[in-house]
Structure 1
């Protein structure tokens, strides 16, 4: 069973529907025991970084996510959920993240329209089983204003260009992140979620 972390961060029913379509059992939960007993974790999220990290702290989920990451459980962060995995964010201040991955979340340059909203391509940067049956330059759906900077280059799986090179898929061992929304990305998004399911 995949635990989808439920901390009040937006509508995540579409993500659960996508997993159900793939015959991947999941549940929305903020229960520590359920999270501990799960085979994998998905950390979704939309909205503001500070609100999200405050909610995770309020539910007592920061330490449990850090522990589960440390013991090797597969964890997938999606959109804001990916950003929360990093050391800190510079969104409207400076806020500590989960510190599971190295990097800083910063705002996109005003040389492009912000937020970055709509379809963009994934440029493969390294081989990863998450990309099985995903073509180079495959389209996925983005909605975000912030991106990860100063991350280790060897953890970059795919990127997209939008003013700057934006890390779109990242991986460090059992930890994965997708800056876009796979549940809104048609067949490519479903394939990525299927591949994550097969890695569990």
Structure 2
């Protein structure tokens, strides 16, 4: 039986993510926990995130989640970050004048969207990366966003690139809002992440979660 853990560190729509995973994988065991052993040993780990970058990082580190993510990536065990759970995978983020280091697994910086109105809230399309696993069969779908900040590109080396078991070429899917372009999703070996909320994205989000689970089960 496939085992899935939603990491419960106090930030994120954890209940809706648990329900979404249960719906797309009814035969899987889905658990909401911060237990280290369960999070390390699950077939797939989901790291949600809602709120400010620095607060999410503080909460993740306090719950032992940073070490768990590093260990899973080092061991080629799948991790999926969602919303701020994607952002904290980058080298750093700045929000409301506060600069904070991220996990450094994706190269780049998270900053405010350049658009007349923020947050970017609602349904939007994506420009899917070639050979994407997450978006296979979903290239023309729309996904649900709620965010004011994002990474705009992977434009520098990841600070903790050495955590990966080998060099993975990231597949980057982009979104746009106003005149701004931002990272909508990244697929890098065992580590994948989305800026939008698949658990709020209807059938398109369900399809993406199925694709993620099928990639390792």
TM-score interval, smaller chain: over 0.9
Q: What SS does the corresponding residue of 1:123 show, helix, strand or coil?
A: coil
Q: What SS does the corresponding residue of 1:15 show, helix, strand or coil?
A: helix
CA offsets 1:42-71 (integer angstroms, 9 cap, x no match): 100111111111111211221221111111
Given candidates 64, 84, 91, the residue that maps to 1:60 is: 64
Distance 1:106 1:156 in 2: 21
Q: What SS does the corresponding residue of 1:122 show, helix, strand or coil?
A: coil
Count of residues paired in the alignment = 198
Distance 2:95 2:145 in 1: 18
CA offsets 1:137-181 (integer angstroms, 9 cap, x no match): x11100001111341596343211112111111111111111000
Is 1:114 the equivalent of 2:118?
yes
Which residue in the other structure is 1:105 paired with?
A: 110
On the 8 A contact 1:169/1:176 being kept in 2, the answer is: yes
On the 8 A contact 1:42/1:75 being kept in 2, the answer is: yes
- 5+ long unaligned stretches in structure 2: 157-168
On the 8 A contact 1:127/1:157 being kept in 2, the answer is: no
Which residue in the other structure is 2:15 paired with?
A: 13
Distance 2:133 2:41 in 1: 24
- 5+ long unaligned stretches in structure 1: none
Distance 2:33 2:139 in 1: 33
The alignment yields a C-alpha RMSD, in angstroms, of: 1.6
Which residue in the other structure is 1:171 paired with?
A: 187
Which residue in the other structure is 2:173 paired with?
A: 158
Distance 1:112 1:82 in 2: 24
TM-score, length-scaled by structure 1? 0.93
| 4+ runs deviating over 3 angstroms | none
